[in-house]
Structure 1
Amino acid sequence: MYLTIPLTLIPLLAAAPVRGAFSGLPNNISLGSRAGLSWLSYLFATAYAASFERRANGSETDTNGTTFVWTVQDVYQGQTFFDRWNFYTGSDPTHGSVNYTDRETAYADGLYYVTEDNIVVMKGDNTTWLAEGGYRNSVRISSQAVYNTGLFILDLNMAPWGCGVWPAWWTVGNNWPLQGEIDILEGVHDNEHNQVTWHTGPNCNLTQSANYTGTIVETNGNPNLVCNCVNDYNSNAGCGVTEWSRASYGPIFDAQGGGVFAMKWDDQGIAIWSFYRAAIPQDVTDGLPDPSTWGVPVAFLAPSACDPITNFVDHSIIFDITFCGDWAGNSYSTAAGCTGTCAEHIMDPSNFVNASWHINSLTVYKKQTLNGQINNGARRRASFDVMPWLSLAAATFALGWAAV
């Protein structure tokens, strides 16, 4: 909501002397004078140009020739982060040695909380010794909102890691695998490379010729190009890509301050990017994301081999931390630096001090189409964006007048 100034006040404000302490103008200059009006014109022109630039820089044009901007749909952050999530308490479908706790138990046990500086923390239990064969308490949450396409940007300082630890940030439909699953951030043990994976019904494949920087995951020397998980095809491995960056998962990711993971999901395909802390694009920081400027994604599912609309439907967002299980358990014996067995390792709580999510924010954007030429659209929107600047200028002039 903007402050509005009656037009009848503008001549009075223009004539008012304004002290330099309020406006940056020379002391006691009258804005009704030639010099004052020049400053006033400069202020309005600068505000208009800045607003215009904010709108124009955030726009994209897709392969269909449609120009659009990404606008905020949902923001999850700070003290209200957990208000719109459900806590899952069922058995782990990946057969991990984990008890997913309800909201009340998780809070009482310190498995989720928000710090005074609004960092969202979710963690596995790292205080309880377990008996042999015991399961470790943890959390798995799913968004109450469901999504069909969007731009998802997660800013985090830390993602869980450690021997026997298996975290994931992912989206999934209710009817698995026919409504699809997208594993955006996932790994095990002390791995240094994030793995992106898609799980679907039939008729969905990963193309080797698509433009992405990651390496296709292989099973027994064969690339996992078939995303189909119906009838336990390829042990439900799906189709996956491993990121090249050593700063995309594990201790190196955390040591340099975390970063941002982003997924763009629309009819043009599903693309994943990751940026370590020092390389986060300015448009992301400014809240005006423009994926067309981010370069080649680390992973990309092309629409030519997999329809991103019909194969991925009504997705909830999920964060979880499990232990051992189908991936972390089966790969434990070959994991660098992991001693004993996963079942033995999970008994000692001190092994899980790094099994935590530390999240700054998760923002979901949706497309807003711009009608007509982008410049015209930007100018129309800029005329509204400039209003708070004009109001602020008018209020500043009034304060200066009163202070004389």
Structure 2
Amino acid sequence: MEDSVAANRTPSERTPLIQRVGGGGGGSDKQDPDEEKPQMKESSGGEEQHEHYSNIERFDDANEEEDDDDDDDGDDDDEDDYYDGTEVFESLKEIDSERRLRRESLAADRLSMRLLAIDDNDVELEDQILKETLNLDLSPDEAFAEYDLSRRRSQIEIQKTTRKASGRFCTMTGLCILAFGVIIAALWIGAEFIGPPNQPVGPYELIERQEGDEFFEYYTFYQGPDSVGSNGYIDYVSEDRAKTIAIANITHETDELDVFYRGRRGLSNVVDALGKSSAKKEPFLYLKTAPTDAGPRESIRLEGKRRFNRGLFIIDVRHMPAGCGTWPAFWLTDEANWPVNGEIDIVEGVNFQAEAKTALHTTKGCEMSDVPLGTMTGSWDTAVGIPDKKTGIPDMTFREAKNCFVYDPHQWLNQGCVAIDTNGGSLGVDLNAKGGGIFALEWDPVNRHIRTWVFTPHNTVPENLVMAIRSASEPVVADRVMPNPEEWPLPYGYFPIGDQTNCEGTKFKNMRLVLNTALCGSVAGNRFFLDCKNESKSFKTCNEYIRGRPDALDEAYWKIRGVYVYQREWRKAWLSK
């Protein structure tokens, strides 16, 4: 019906609505019949835009029918019944915009689903889908759709970023746990296999067993007069000369300590029908002196071939030189760099001295003023009566000899820091009467100390030390017992060295063992009138006494079972202790 009515209308009757809808005519009520109908510009909507024009035409037909009704009523004024088609068109545009927004929103939802399905690392596929789906050249009317798409895309990016961050957090947490485990494993491995450099922290192991015929392999015989500093009244001879005149020889005897050791091991000493013990004979080293026509006696000075910077040094002495004029010593030094590299006297006796002493000699800057309480059983030597350098008047102030500096003005020249075994009877004549003893010195820079012991008689030697000495000759290392000073009684001398002490550990380095017997000289000779009062009545000097009483030196000899040197195993571990 509407279509037939619209078809029967004349062009002039349809003009007003067309003009107002199309925007032409400038408000005129008439139009040339030959003039073409204004064309609406098609939007990118396609078929949807065509549908919009159809709706407009239907509204036009409806208006024409109303106009016919008005004409029938006799109303000739078209201006009063004119319907404003512009408002209708604007309303349709709004409807069109809402539809487009809904379509864009639906497309955005679909795009979001497609993007979420893409792998996080597949950037190329993501870009391709975005390019195919999004129309970046949007018209102003589509600004809201663009905003909505941007918002949704931002949400997608936030979701993806959150997923990635969560994944990274889990990954980092796992890596941290793994790293912690690796660190713990590295510490354990380092404790067992790597360890810090230059840190001997394991148990002691035997590096030198100086016994019997092998004893001299570890030393060289110094030949010549005594040093200027000692100035002893002797001449040191070569190995050949010493053996020729029988002042250096090896004997084999039953060892009292070996019997004690065998008893500890559960072994028995079988006595045969003749009453002789079947105990093994052990080698003993004898070092003596011999008179000469020229006056100075011939003696022996053994200088070690190996240099040390640490170690545990043990000497088993059965007899040592003693008596007026004697000055025996077993010590560590570096003569070429004395006193820069230090000196440690392990065993040293002067004349009738009866107490074991250990002395340290260094350059300036080494004092024993910070010895911890309860670390030693002995005491310190004294320095009293030192003459004043300017006036020469003796200083009677009582001082302990704790300064190791050889030129300390308040101590005797080269006195050093000296620890004394206060038990007494541990040196010289008294020691020999007990059958000797064992001296031990531990030089341990890692644990920052030097410690010294003396055990006499032999039945007072700690079991661990007895087992270590007697098992040193075992060919199988596993059968040997290693010494452990922590199982021994407290030392009589304790010298703190190294970091956080008043004596740098570098004051002692590159030293070698020396075993010698000097006579008189700068120490024993200077004390001749103090220590040898009866002898000094008949002889003016110590040297005259040596020349005039050769028979008095029958006791001036060493009898040594062995020297044993240990160093801590280089087990490169922090936690081995």
Q: Tell me the CA shift for residue 246 of structure 1.
A: 2.2
Distance 1:164 1:66, change over 3 A: closer
Which stretches of structure 1, 4 residues or more, deviate above 6 A after TM superposition?
none
Instruction: Find out whether 1:86 has 2:220 as its counterpart.
Output: yes
Which of 229, 232, 240 aligns to 2:406? It is 229
Which of 472, 487, 504 aligns to 1:307? It is 504
Identity of aligned residues (%): 28
Instruction: Find out whether 1:104 has 2:240 as its counterpart.
Output: yes
Corresponding position of 1:296:
490
Give matches, 1:38-57, under 5 Å.
none
Which of 426, 440, 461 aligns to 1:262? It is 440
Distance 2:563 2:533 in 1: 32
Q: Tell me the CA shift for residue 91 of structure 1.
A: 2.8
Corresponding position of 1:218:
382
Q: Which runs of 5+ in 1 are unaligned?
A: 1-64, 378-404
Distance 2:414 2:464 in 1: 37
Q: Which residue identity is paired with 1:312?
A: F
TM-score by length of 2: 0.50
What's the RMSD between the two structures over aligned residues?
Answer: 2.3
Q: Indicate the larger mover: 225-234 or 107-116.
A: 225-234
Whether contact under 8 Å (1:152, 1:365) holds in the other structure is yes
User: Would you tell me which structure has more strand in proportion to its own residues?
Assistant: 1
Q: Which residue identity is paired with 1:119?
A: F
Give matches, 1:5-404, under 5 Å.
68-93=202-227, 94-117=230-253, 118-125=283-290, 128=291, 134-173=295-334, 174-207=336-369, 209-210=371-372, 211-220=375-384, 221-229=398-406, 234-267=412-445, 268-276=448-456, 277-287=458-468, 288-303=482-497, 304-308=501-505, 310-335=506-531, 338-340=534-536, 341=539, 342-347=542-547, 348-368=549-569
Distance 1:146 1:365 in 2: 13
Q: Which residue identity is paired with 1:351?
A: A
Structure number with greater CO (CA < 8 Å, separation at least 6) is 1
Distance 1:138 1:67 in 2: 40
Whether contact under 8 Å (1:91, 1:100) holds in the other structure is yes
Whether contact under 8 Å (2:333, 2:344) holds in the other structure is yes
Rg comparison, structure with higher value: 2
Secondary structure in 1 matching 2:243 = helix
Distance 1:350 1:299, change over 3 A: same
Distance 2:320 2:453 in 1: 16
Distance 1:331 1:208, change over 3 A: farther
Secondary structure in 1 matching 2:203 = strand
Q: Tell me the CA shift for residue 136 of structure 1.
A: 1.2
CA offsets 1:5-57 (integer angstroms, 9 cap, x no match): xxxxxxxxxxxxxxxxxxxxxxxxxxxxxxxxxxxxxxxxxxxxxxxxxxxxx
TM-score by length of 1: 0.71
Distance 1:234 1:372, change over 3 A: closer
Q: Which residue identity is paired with 1:345?
A: Y
Whether contact under 8 Å (2:313, 2:565) holds in the other structure is yes
Distance 1:89 1:231 in 2: 32
Corresponding position of 2:50:
none
Q: Which runs of 5+ in 2 are unaligned?
A: 1-198, 254-282, 385-397, 469-481
Q: Tell me the CA shift for residue 242 of structure 1.
A: 2.0
CA offsets 1:49-70 (integer angstroms, 9 cap, x no match): xxxxxxxxxxxxxxxx996311
Distance 1:208 1:193, change over 3 A: farther
Q: Which residue identity is paired with 2:378?
A: G
In the alignment of these two chains, the number of paired residues is 306
Q: Indicate the larger mover: 186-195 or 257-266.
A: 186-195
Distance 1:67 1:176 in 2: 29
Q: Which residue identity is paired with 1:359?
A: I
CA offsets 1:256-280 (integer angstroms, 9 cap, x no match): 1111100111122111001011111
Whether contact under 8 Å (2:205, 2:568) holds in the other structure is yes
Q: Tell me the CA shift for residue 183 of structure 1.
A: 0.5
